[in-house]
Amino acid sequence: MKYIKQLCMIAAVCLVAEAMEYFIPLPVAASIYGLLIMLVLLLTKVIKLEMVEDVADFLSGNMAIMFIPPTVGIMACVEEMKAMLVPLFVISIVSTILIMAVTGKVSQFIIRKTKREEK
């Protein structure tokens, strides 16, 4: 029963998020509205952590499995890919590496600066 209640709570948030996606004309997915709604509900204590915790940890802890089907989808668009194969791979790979390095370095720099100032 505990799990059913938790799942119901999460599904209800998804339902509201789906409605927001439908009515708000932005290219933003339901899952992002849902994440924001859930966060606001937790912060305002409308939902307590223990009301969703177990099912939520199970779902977010097993996300890798859920990505398998869309990733396998790569095999279905081989033809469209051929036209821009080299730029597609080079740009995807190089920019990912750059973004990871820049974001990591910048935030680490600011964190360490903040820590030093505290001391």
Partner 1 sequence: MQELLSNSTYFAVVLTLICFQIGIWFKKKTGWAVATPLLTATIIIIAALLIFDIPYESYKEGAEIISFFLTPATVCLAIPLYRQIELLKKYPKAIFGGIIAGVLTTMVSIFVMSLAFGLNHQQYVTLLPKSITTAIGMGISEKMGGIVTITVVSISITGILGNVIAESFLKFLKIEEPIAKGLAIGTASHALGTTKAMEMGEVEGAMSSLSIVVTGILTVLAISVFAPLI
Applying the rule CB under 8 A, the residues between 39 and 68 that interact with partner 1 are 39, 42-43, 49, 52-53, 55-57, 59-68
Examine residue 8 and tell whether it contacts partner 1 (CB under 8 A).
no
Residues 57-116 that bind partner 1 (CB under 8 A): 57, 59-77, 80-81, 84, 86-108, 110-112, 114
Coil vs helix vs strand at 27: coil
* Residue 1 beta carbon to partner 1: minimum distance, rounded to whole angstroms: 19
Examine residue 5 and tell whether it contacts partner 1 (CB under 8 A).
no
Q: Among residues 11 and 19, whose Cβ is nearest to partner 1?
A: 11
* Residue 36 beta carbon to partner 1: minimum distance, rounded to whole angstroms: 7
* Cα 97 to Cα 30: distance, rounded to the nearest angstrom: 28
Q: Among residues 1 and 73, whose Cβ is nearest to partner 1?
A: 73
* Cα 55 to Cα 61: distance, rounded to the nearest angstrom: 10
Confirm if 94 and 102 have CB atoms less than 8 A apart.
Answer: no
* Cα 1 to Cα 49: distance, rounded to the nearest angstrom: 17
**Helix or strand holding residue 28 (H, E):** none
